[in-house]
Amino acid sequence: MFSFLWDFFVSVGAILALPRFFYRFRKNPALPRALKQKLGFGFPSLSAEGPVVWVHAVSVGEVKAVSALASRLKEEVPGCTLLVTTITLTGNDEAKKSIPQADHILFLPFDISFIMKRVLKKIRPSLLVITETDFWFHLVNEAKKGGAQVALVNGKISERSARRFKRFPFISHRLFSTIDQFLLQSEDYEERFLALGVPKEKISITGNLKLDTKIKPLSESEKEMLRSRLGVTQSVKTVVFASTHPGEEELAINLAKELDEKEQAKIVIVPRHPERFVQVAGALRLAGLSFTQISKESAGPSTAVVLVDQMGLLGSIYQITDIAVVCGSFTPIGGHNIIEPMPFNVPVLFGPHMFKQPEFTLLAQKYRAGLMIKIEELSKSVRELLANDQKREELGRAGVRLVLDNQGASAKTWQQLLPLLHLGGEVRDFVRPTKSTL
């Protein structure tokens, strides 16, 4: 009965989501491949000669978080076949960039029983790794039927989700009982999973993998090339509005209008989703600001705003910016990764809507490495920071210290995954006897 109800609700959700999916990605060449794989077609039949590890990550942030772990897996388990799935197109693109060692990068099929049964018969994973909060009943259930070990990595659960699961224990029991290890970010999440009936012996606190995420550093010549594309000279400071959502570009536009010539600052806007590039360009045009779309031409020194309408550049831009305003937090989205700019000595500002990233907010406040700013005070705060070199340097140094003090989640997670690799039958013969396995 549970399987039938799950299939019904997932099917209804998929049908309702398809029109929006087609509209958002109608011009994306990956659309036919994505749809085919979401329906369970196009998956390879993997041989049983070596262990098969399936890593599932929802989107860009989760892919970046598990990238170091996935790379280590390929290095230390040389006979391993690594399959990575994502839900979003942007996540799929990020996986190709961040996990080039993966043997297969695909889209997660709809979690409907007959689709997952067909896919799992072809893949037959020895180990299934799921990230953060993405629980799919048939994915985990069919993997377990095939003899796989299942681990949740970088796991978390919000207070709101925990309350909902508590009201429907028959759902939480079926979702969580077949997971072998819960590798969680913090003690708060441990308490919530324990309250939902997860046995304590299945839980380990390994920290947040996103704190171990490393962005490839640019050489000095690469930095100069990027500055040239953005139209930034040595005398001009850069403020990047990162991962913007509807309503947040207006904050950047208002700031650009308020800045005077003496402040010599350039605004860089990086929308979160590529399908909004045209919309944001229209808003800039309507505002009457001089702006450049980086996909079309390099910006000139007099250009007020640069619209980054290409994916994959944000990590590089963080390395040359003076202030990072991390968005998704000035509207009720829940926030994005405010830690990502910090290794580059960049002061970070973010909004009050950080309910999806509580641990990052607490860390930033504890280390005084980031400033939570009210929407109406953002322009004033940015302008004050632009004028205060000492304050920017203090915030930047605090951010670097935060990152250095809180790394190590990848190593802890790897140590907990090793027993599951050994339990995977043929897998144990493929693990190299490195220091981490002794």
Catalytic residues: 62
Question: Do the beta carbons of residue 340 and residue 215 sit within 8 Å?
Answer: yes
How far apart (Å, rounded) are the C-alpha atoms in residues 361 and 371? 9
* H-type alpha helices, 263-408: 277-287, 314-318, 358-367, 378-386, 389-405
Q: What share of the chain is helix, strand, coil (3-state, %, to 5)?
A: 50, 15, 35
DSSP assigned state of 264: -
How far apart (Å, rounded) are the C-alpha atoms in residues 146 and 150? 11
Closest CA relative to residue 156, chosen from 192, 199, 198: 192
Closest CA relative to residue 206, chosen from 154, 159, 157, 144: 154
Q: Is the dihedral of CA 194, 197, 203, 206 positive or negative?
A: negative
Which token pair is 187?
């003690």
